[in-house]
């Protein structure tokens, strides 16, 4: 009887240890609860990062669409105002100068350099930033209001149209990619 009692007591002591899930899992070579929790947290982190990347890409696409819509609206406004936008490749090579911005208002072309200089000085006195460049055709061209965005050059165009210098033949020079890339 004593032997049975010892066996029962021993089983009572060992049974809680054997009944623990982690003990059986470890004995069977399976992951424990702590291992499972760590793996679950890793999966949650990976999923969270994936969602963050997807959200970031969606935001960037939305911003790109907004910039495109803004550019199209500005282009439409410029077309309605009768303002032309020409690429530098259409107008000829600029001699001896690299432009500092993508878009410029072309406000005049002169055979005599002193006429271009006088025009530039008058515009600078009125608050416009100007440069005189020589095209390969022999003309000295007065460029004003350097800007890297269509929206910005449109604002400068409106300001020019409302100024004392308004001429019907003003147009916008797109100097890309030779000058600057459009900043977004």
Q: What are the residue ranges spanned by the domains of the chain?
A: 84-174
If you classify domain 84-174 with CATH, what class do you get? alpha beta
Give the confidence band of 41 by pLDDT, cuts at 50, 70, 90.
very high
Residue 105 has pLDDT above 70, yes or no: yes
Mean pLDDT over 2-13 rounds to 76
Task: Report the percentage of the chain scoring pLDDT > 70.
Answer: 73
Mean pLDDT over 151-173 rounds to 81
Residue 173 has pLDDT above 50, yes or no: yes
Structure tokens of 17? 């240890």
The pLDDT value given to residue 183 = 41
pTM for the structure as a whole = 0.50
- Tens digit of each residue's pLDDT (9 = 90 or more) over 11-25: 766 665 555 677 767
Angle between helical axes of 21-28 and 33-80 (0-180°, round to 10) = 90
More reliable by pLDDT, 77 or 28: 28
- CA–CA distance, 87 with 92 (Å, rounded to integer): 9
């Amino acid at each position: 009887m004593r032997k049975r009692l010892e066996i029962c007591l021993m089983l009572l002591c060992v049974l809680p240890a054997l009944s623990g899930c982690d003990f059986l899992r470890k004995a069977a070579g399976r992951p424990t609860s702590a291992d499972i929790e760590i793996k679950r947290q890793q999966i949650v982190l990976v999923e969270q990062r994936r969602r963050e990347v997807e959200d970031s890409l969606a935001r960037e696409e939305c911003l790109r669409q907004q910039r495109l819509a803004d550019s199209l609206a500005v282009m439409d406004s410029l077309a309605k105002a009768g303002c032309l936008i020409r690429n530098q490749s259409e107008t000829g090579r600029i001699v001896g100068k690299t432009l500092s911005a993508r878009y410029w208002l072309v406000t005049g072309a002169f055979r005599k350099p002193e006429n271009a200089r006088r025009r530039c000085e008058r515009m600078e006195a009125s608050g416009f930033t100007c440069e005189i460049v020589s095209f390969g055709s022999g003309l000295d061209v007065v460029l004003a209001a350097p800007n890297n965005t269509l929206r910005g050059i449109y604002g400068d165009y409106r300001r020019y149209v409302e100024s004392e210098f308004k001429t019907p033949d003003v147009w916008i020079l797109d100097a890309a990619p030779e000058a600057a890339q459009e900043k977004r």
